């Protein structure tokens, strides 16, 4: 039952680099995929940021921190993680409440906590803590879960989601909610229940509409008809569609995007960076990047499938699928398929916390891969 | 922890998970397919559409204004030029708070409410990211002040350009006209695509008439702009085609002489080359400085010009309609000879008045001339002879003959605003006044009084016809345009056909009589002879402004603005005319004193202080 890096380490037909990665409890194919996506990100960011070295350095620094966190997370045995899960979840929830209270004092959207040496968003941590909690709760008993356990799990998901949505940060709330939901789904919750919940969700749309803030409603309306406000809320979508569409099959070439370099494209370093990519690398580039993402997600799902216990399976699986939600929602919104919600393009967009969270999640997935117990059967 | 409560079927749970993961993977694959389809739609199917939008975003076509053509006189002296100047422009998209910006700007640059009003007008019409001018011709100090504070005024730019300038100011302004800021009326009239970059347009005179030649065609620059509209680089450029330089028939020296001779009197002088209709001088006094109008004249300055009783903005040379007075007599005489109503030898005894048969009403002559023939009647300006002749001719014959000299219709000079004058007839009177024509009106018609009015330009054109023995000319100011072979020659066609007399020698008969006016012992302008070496054929005229009702006219007793207009028409040298002149001095008194010397000095200035070779010095008559 010793925890040791498992897999191909003992085999001789692997490269020294792969052997090193395995020794570090990392998964070489996943690292390879992530590294490629990150490389694309650095390239696009260099272009989107107007060749700003400063921006690139900042991004590199965060990437380095993220990789460090990933390496660290890979060292934590899932067993320990599972033991800490309720505490992590509870602490996260407490911080969320605290942020909301503090936010009310200062007014406006308050998501940050200043820890003195670093600021961080508790809502980011919840993206991992919620699927962990659901996996912990459901994985404890035999699967598929009973309806009562499903309802409890739903509550575990809903509380932090609603808290985050009230910050208000719809994008993150969506990601937290879907991460938990994926864990539930993968745990085998009944199809009938899923159908019922979906119908209930559809029915609650009018209620949601009522709860939504003005700017959130405007976003939805603008999504439905961007041309209605071409200089205001619709401007982002129109300009980003122009950027992507004018990229054509092969793109305008790296650093040659006119939309982005002439400042027509807003938020081109962060949420709308895919528009810069699409403009400069065209349809082929876009499909290639999607393929990279699919590879990363597929590998993560494969790892989840190979995991030995329910906790690991559910956690790795839901993290992998959440990563997919990032990709789909971001590209969907930039191409005008979905409303504009603040979801970054994972591993590419400029922005610290999400990068660290994502790499931490991959660290956990790799830890699940590398900490396999040898079952003496 | 295995088997802690009840035995779990790990294999079953693993299968369940993998099934669910497969479903998720399938769903994910569908969504990825949707993304790819979306990209395909945007980047392949709609590629053209978005490329156009992208180019629209970044590429702007800017018009560049052509340089307006210069205007020169016949000797090449520049009368209208373009001087470099700086203007202050505001870009609507980049100015957040116009009121505040203007308020702060006013501390640095001088502008008035009218400038602001015009700015606000243009503000809404401006194309995206196009500057709207607030002030032109900034002083170097203003340029410096604004430049230093530029960071405080986003959207406010100093733009270098050219401004129209008339170096001789008031001289010839009635002929040149001026350019001014384009206004709404101009926009209706002009081809807006040709004037995209142009701020000024000809408003009057030559500047207006030959706008199409002077303006040129705009060039275009395709520029790449960023989202703020700032030009980053020029992609390609087609330079503007500058306007044509114009050479006028005017002679600057003669023009200045004419204006100087009129001095501070209100009046007009037109000097033509009778051989071809070239306008050598076109003076109307008082005059104005066209430079005031170029960048918008202030309300006060404009009101002063507009309300002045001397009407400096009024172009008397082509718009002033005056009774011709006795200057009409040579034309009436020609009509008498042409119709056979008057033989050269026929005489009449002038007692100083004329009694109209039937009515018994008495018409005065300015003096009793005794027995005179037609020539003497012209030379001495005998009214009685022409009262009688006019009656015999009748109003219809007389008026139609006068029209053959171009009276009663514009001469067709190539500046706008010309008036037609009036050659009345019974039909006209019936139509406009609803009254019948009276014989007495025919009578005074014969001495150029009554309803008959003419412009100085018409007088000069008509006297040129006498000088040419009936060949008409069309007065014009444009002599040549650079690089253009299509100078509108069609405009050179006279508006009346050649006038043929049954006895061509009648022309010389009348011309001799007109020489007698300046050289004869009894000539009304004989004083000219003492001064001029040239043989001048002329005719004086004094047009009544004020009806005397039979009283004696005494210039000293009549208010200045009711004094008679003094007129003189002339050409010289009489046997080979090279200049024809019409002079009108408003309220100048008698033609012989106020107008004739002006014409004589102008002729001397043109022909020189010495008699020309071959200029026959005839014996005095």
Average pLDDT over every residue of A77-95: 92
Residue A96 has pLDDT above 60, yes or no: yes
**Residue A227 or residue B363, greater confidence:** B363
| Assigned token pair, B542 | 């004094």
| Assigned token pair, B333 | 């005489």
**Residue A377 or residue B114, greater confidence:** B114
pLDDT in tens, B220-241: 888 877 766 667 778 888 888 8
Chain A partners of B21 at a C-beta cutoff of 8 Å? 186, 301, 304-305, 317
Q: What is the mean pLDDT of chain B?
A: 87
Residue B31 has pLDDT above 90, yes or no: yes
CA angle A346, A216, A209 (to 5 degrees): 120
Look at A188 and B17 and tell me if their CB atoms are within 8 Å.
Answer: yes
% of chain B at pLDDT higher than 90? 52
Cα(A306)–Cα(B447) distance, integer angstroms: 125
Interface test with B, best of A227, A238, A242 (most B CBs within 10 A): A242
Which contiguous run of DSSP H or E holds residue A67? helix A53-75
Strand order through the sheet with B59-64: B59-64, B219-225, B231-238
**Residue B193 or residue A138, greater confidence:** A138
- Determine the distance from the C-alpha atom of residue B302 to the mean position of all C-alpha atoms in its chain, rounded to a whole number: 18
Residue A30's pLDDT band, with cuts at 50, 70 and 90, is very high
Cα(A178)–Cα(A134) distance, integer angstroms: 12
B70, B72, B251 from B167: Cα distances, Å: 12, 11, 15
* Per-residue confidence (pLDDT) for residue A84, from 0 to 100: 94
Phi, psi of B202 (to 5 degrees): -65, 130
Cα(B304)–Cα(B292) distance, integer angstroms: 12
Average pLDDT over every residue of B60-77: 89
Q: Which of A102, A83, A339 is nearest to A221 (CA)?
A: A339
Residue A319 has pLDDT above 80, yes or no: yes
Note the ipTM here.
0.90
- Look at residue B461 and give its three-state secondary structure: helix
Q: What is the mean pLDDT of chain A?
A: 84
Cα(A159)–Cα(B427) distance, integer angstroms: 103
Residue B4 has pLDDT above 90, yes or no: no
Look at B28 and A297 and tell me if their CB atoms are within 8 Å.
Answer: yes
* Per-residue confidence (pLDDT) for residue B550, from 0 to 100: 40
Look at B53 and A144 and tell me if their CB atoms are within 8 Å.
Answer: no
Q: Which are the catalytic amino acids of B?
A: 326
Q: How far is B40 from chain A (nearest CA, A)?
A: 7
Residue B98 has pLDDT above 80, yes or no: yes
Residue B170's pLDDT band, with cuts at 50, 70 and 90, is very high
Residue A215 has pLDDT above 80, yes or no: no
Chain A partners of B35 at a C-beta cutoff of 8 Å? 290, 328, 331-332, 335, 337
Helix B505-519 to helix B329-339 angle (10° resolution) is 150
Cα(B136)–Cα(B120) distance, integer angstroms: 16
Cα(B184)–Cα(B417) distance, integer angstroms: 20
pLDDT in tens, A48-59: 888 888 889 989
Look at B54 and A259 and tell me if their CB atoms are within 8 Å.
Answer: yes
Average pLDDT over every residue of B59-87: 89
| Assigned token pair, B159 | 């733009």
Residue B484's pLDDT band, with cuts at 50, 70 and 90, is low
Chain B partners of A278 at a C-beta cutoff of 8 Å? 39, 42-43
Going by CATH, does the domain composed of B252-288+315-478+488-607 fall within 3.40.710.10? yes
What residue of B is the nearest CA neighbor of A316? B21
* Per-residue confidence (pLDDT) for residue B357, from 0 to 100: 77
Point out which residues pair with B246 in neighbouring strands: B71, B481
pLDDT in tens, A57-69: 989 998 999 999 9
Cα(A306)–Cα(A291) distance, integer angstroms: 22
Parts of chain B belonging to CATH 3.40.710.10: 252-288+315-478+488-607
* Per-residue confidence (pLDDT) for residue B546, from 0 to 100: 55
Q: Which of A135, A149, A133 is nearest to A93 (CA)?
A: A133
Cis peptide before A145 (omega within 30 of 0): no
Residues contacting B272, CB < 8 A, separation 6+: B278, B279, B280, B460, B461, B464, B473, B475, B579, B580, B581
Average pLDDT over every residue of B169-189: 88
Lowest pLDDT segment from A207-216, B76-85, B283-292, B413-422? A207-216
Average pLDDT over every residue of B119-140: 79
Residue B3 has pLDDT above 70, yes or no: no
Cα(B445)–Cα(B398) distance, integer angstroms: 9
Lowest pLDDT segment from A7-21, B438-452, B575-589? A7-21
* Per-residue confidence (pLDDT) for residue B559, from 0 to 100: 62
Chain B partners of A297 at a C-beta cutoff of 8 Å? 28
Parts of chain B belonging to CATH 3.90.1310.10: 61-248
What residue of A is the nearest CA neighbor of B20? A186
Q: How far is B44 from chain A (nearest CA, A)?
A: 6
Q: Is B46 on the interface with A (CB under 8 A)?
A: yes
Residue B48's pLDDT band, with cuts at 50, 70 and 90, is confident
Residue B420's pLDDT band, with cuts at 50, 70 and 90, is very high
What residue of B is the nearest CA neighbor of A315? B17
Average pLDDT over every residue of A251-270: 81
Look at B51 and A246 and tell me if their CB atoms are within 8 Å.
Answer: yes
Q: Is B37 on the interface with A (CB under 8 A)?
A: no
* Per-residue confidence (pLDDT) for residue B619, from 0 to 100: 43
Evaluate whether B210 touches B478 at the Cβ level (below 8 Å). yes
pLDDT in tens, B359-411: 778 888 888 889 999 999 999 999 999 999 999 999 999 999 999 999 999 99
A247, B136, B278, B491, B495 from B403: Cα distances, Å: 75, 48, 21, 20, 11
Tell me which fold the domain B61-248 belongs to. Answer: Penicillin-binding protein 2a (Domain 2) (3.90.1310)
Evaluate whether B540 touches B528 at the Cβ level (below 8 Å). no
Chain B partners of A368 at a C-beta cutoff of 8 Å? none
* Per-residue confidence (pLDDT) for residue A232, from 0 to 100: 59
**Residue B491 or residue B564, greater confidence:** B564
Q: How far is B149 from chain A (nearest CA, A)?
A: 26
* Per-residue confidence (pLDDT) for residue B552, from 0 to 100: 45
Phi, psi of B606 (to 5 degrees): -85, -40
Highest mean pLDDT among A203-212, B236-245, B260-269, B586-595: B260-269
Average pLDDT over every residue of A74-100: 91
List b or e across B425-436, with b for residues whose CB sees 16 or more CB atoms inside 10 angstroms: bbebbeeeeeee
Phi, psi of B372 (to 5 degrees): -135, 145
List b or e across A217-236, with b for residues whose CB sees 16 or more CB atoms inside 10 angstroms: ebbeebbeebeeeeeebbbb
Phi, psi of B479 (to 5 degrees): -95, -40
Residue B490 has pLDDT above 70, yes or no: no
- Look at residue B382 and give its three-state secondary structure: coil
Cα(B322)–Cα(B565) distance, integer angstroms: 8
Q: How far is A329 from chain B (nearest CA, A)?
A: 10
Average pLDDT over every residue of B55-61: 74
Residue A158 has pLDDT above 80, yes or no: yes
Lowest pLDDT segment from A7-11, B239-243, B256-260, B559-563? A7-11
Q: Which of B118, B313, B98, B121 is nearest to B204 (CA)?
A: B313
Point out which residues pair with B71 in neighbouring strands: B80, B246
Average pLDDT over every residue of B293-317: 86
Point out which residues pair with A2 in neighbouring strands: none
pLDDT in tens, B568-618: 999 999 989 999 999 999 988 887 888 999 999 999 999 988 887 777 655
Residue A376's pLDDT band, with cuts at 50, 70 and 90, is very low
Interface test with B, best of A246, A290, A299 (most B CBs within 10 A): A246
Average pLDDT over every residue of A339-357: 84
pLDDT in tens, B492-506: 789 999 999 999 999
What is the radius of gyration, based on Cα positions, of chain A? 21
Q: Is A77 on the interface with B (CB under 8 A)?
A: no
* Per-residue confidence (pLDDT) for residue B491, from 0 to 100: 65
Look at A313 and B14 and tell me if their CB atoms are within 8 Å.
Answer: yes
Chain B partners of A321 at a C-beta cutoff of 8 Å? 24, 28
């Amino acid at each position: 039952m010793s925890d040791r890096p498992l897999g191909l380490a003992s085999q001789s037909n692997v490269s020294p680099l792969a052997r090193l990665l395995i020794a570090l409890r990392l998964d070489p194919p996943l690292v390879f995929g992530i590294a490629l996506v990150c490389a694309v990100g650095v390239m696009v960011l260099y272009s989107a940021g107007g060749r700003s070295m400063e921006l690139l350095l900042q991004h590199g620094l965060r990437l380095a921190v993220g990789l460090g966190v990933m390496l660290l997370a890979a060292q934590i045995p899932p067993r320990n993680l599972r033991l800490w899960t309720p505490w992590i979840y509870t602490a996260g929830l407490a911080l969320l409440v605290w942020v909301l209270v503090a936010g009310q004092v200062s007014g406006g959207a308050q998501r940050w906590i200043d820890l003195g040496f670093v600021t961080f968003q508790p809502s980011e941590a919840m993206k991992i803590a919620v699927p962990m909690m659901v996996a912990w709760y459901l994985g404890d008993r035999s699967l598929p879960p009973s309806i009562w356990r499903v309802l409890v799990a739903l509550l575990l998901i809903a509380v932090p989601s609603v808290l985050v949505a009230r910050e208000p940060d719809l994008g993150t709330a969506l990601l937290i909610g879907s991460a938990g939901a994926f864990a539930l789904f993968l745990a085998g919750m009944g199809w009938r229940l899923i159908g019922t919940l979906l119908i209930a969700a559809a029915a609650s749309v009018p209620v949601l509409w009522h709860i939504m803030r003005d700017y959130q409603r405007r976003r939805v309306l603008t999504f439905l008809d961007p041309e209605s406000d071409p200089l205001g809320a619709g401007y982002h979508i129109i300009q980003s569609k122009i950027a992507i569409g004018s990229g054509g099959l092969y793109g305008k070439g790296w650093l040659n995007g006119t939309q982005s370099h002439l400042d027509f494209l807003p938020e081109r370093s962060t949420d709308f960076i895919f528009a810069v990519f699409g403009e400069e690398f065209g349809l082929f580039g876009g499909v290639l990047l999607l393929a990279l993402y699919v590879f990363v997600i597929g590998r993560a799902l494969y790892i989840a499938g190979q995991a030995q216990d329910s906790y690991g399976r559910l956690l790795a699986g839901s993290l992998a699928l959440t990563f997919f939600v990032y990709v789909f929602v971001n590209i969907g919104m930039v191409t005008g398929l979905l409303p504009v919600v603040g979801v970054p393009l994972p591993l590419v967009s400029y922005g610290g916390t999400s990068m660290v969270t994502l790499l931490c999640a991959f660290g956990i997935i790799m830890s699940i891969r590398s900490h396999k117990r040898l079952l003496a059967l | 922890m295995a088997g802690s409560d009840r035995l779990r079927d790990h294999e079953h749970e693993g299968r369940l998970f993998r099934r669910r993961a497969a479903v998720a993977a399938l769903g994910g694959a569908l969504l990825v397919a949707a993304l790819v389809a979306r990209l395909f739609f945007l980047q392949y199917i709609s590629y053209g559409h978005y490329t156009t939008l992208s180019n629209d975003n970044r590429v702007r076509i800017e018009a560049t204004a052509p340089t307006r053509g210069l205007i020169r006189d016949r000797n090449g002296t520049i009368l209208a030029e373009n001087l470099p100047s700086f203007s202050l422009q505001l870009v609507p998209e980049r100015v957040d708070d116009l009121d505040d910006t203007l308020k702060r700007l006013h501390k640095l640059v001088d502008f008035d409410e009218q400038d602001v009003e015009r700015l606000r007008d243009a503000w809404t019409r401006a194309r995206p990211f196009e500057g709207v001018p607030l002030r032109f011709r900034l002083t170097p100090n203003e340029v410096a002040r604004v430049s230093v504070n530029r960071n405080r005024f986003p959207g406010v730019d100093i733009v270098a350009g050219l401004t129209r300038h008339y170096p001789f100011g008031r001289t010839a302004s009635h002929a040149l006209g001026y350019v001014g800021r384009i206004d709404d009326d101009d926009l209706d009239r002009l081809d807006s695509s040709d004037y995209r970059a142009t701020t000024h347009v000809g408003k009057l005179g030559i500047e207006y008439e030959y706008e199409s030649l002077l303006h040129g065609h705009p060039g275009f620059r395709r520029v790449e702009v960023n989202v703020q509209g700032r030009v980053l680089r020029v992609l390609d450029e087609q330079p503007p085609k500058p306007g044509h330089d114009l050479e006028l028939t005017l002679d600057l020296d003669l023009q200045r002489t004419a204006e100087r001779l009129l001095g501070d009197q209100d009046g007009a002088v037109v000097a033509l080359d009778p051989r071809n209709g070239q306008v050598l001088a076109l003076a109307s006094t008082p005059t104005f400085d066209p430079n005031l109008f170029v960048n918008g004249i202030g309300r006060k300055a404009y009101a002063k010009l507009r309300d002045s009783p001397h009407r400096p903005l009024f172009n008397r040379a082509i718009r002033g309609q005056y009774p011709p007075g006795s200057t009409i007599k040579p034309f009436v005489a020609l009509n008498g000879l042409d119709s056979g109503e008057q033989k050269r030898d026929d005489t009449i005894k002038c007692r100083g008045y004329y009694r109209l048969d039937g009515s018994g009403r008495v018409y005065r002559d300015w003096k009793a001339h005794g027995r005179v023939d037609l020539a003497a009647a012209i030379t001495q300006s005998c009214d009685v002879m022409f009262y009688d002749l006019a009656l015999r001719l009748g109003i219809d014959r007389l008026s139609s003959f006068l029209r053959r000299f171009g009276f009663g219709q514009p001469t067709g000079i190539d500046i706008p605003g010309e008036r037609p004058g009036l050659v009345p007839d019974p039909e006209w009177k019936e139509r406009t006044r609803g009254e019948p024509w009276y014989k007495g009106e025919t009578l005074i018609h014969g001495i150029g009084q009554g309803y008959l009015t003419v412009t100085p330009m018409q007088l000069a054109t008509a006297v040129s016809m006498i000088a040419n023995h009936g060949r008409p000319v069309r007065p014009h100011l444009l002599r040549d345009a650079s690089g253009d072979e299509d100078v509108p020659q069609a405009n050179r066609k006279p508006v009346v056909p050649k006038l043929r007399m049954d006895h061509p020698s009648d022309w010389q008969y009348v011309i001799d009589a007109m020489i007698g006016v300046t050289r004869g012992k009894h000539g009304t302008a004989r004083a000219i002879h003492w001064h001029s070496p040239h043989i001048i054929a002329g005719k004086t005229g004094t047009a009544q402004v004020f009806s005397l009702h039979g009283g004696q006219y005494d210039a000293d007793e009549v208010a200045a603005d009711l004094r008679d207009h003094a007129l003189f028409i002339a050409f010289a040298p009489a046997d080979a005319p090279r200049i024809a002149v019409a002079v009108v001095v408003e309220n100048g008194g008698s033609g012989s004193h106020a107008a004739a010397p002006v014409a004589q000095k102008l002729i001397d200035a043109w022909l020189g202080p010495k008699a020309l070779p071959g200029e026959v010095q005839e014996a005095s008559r």
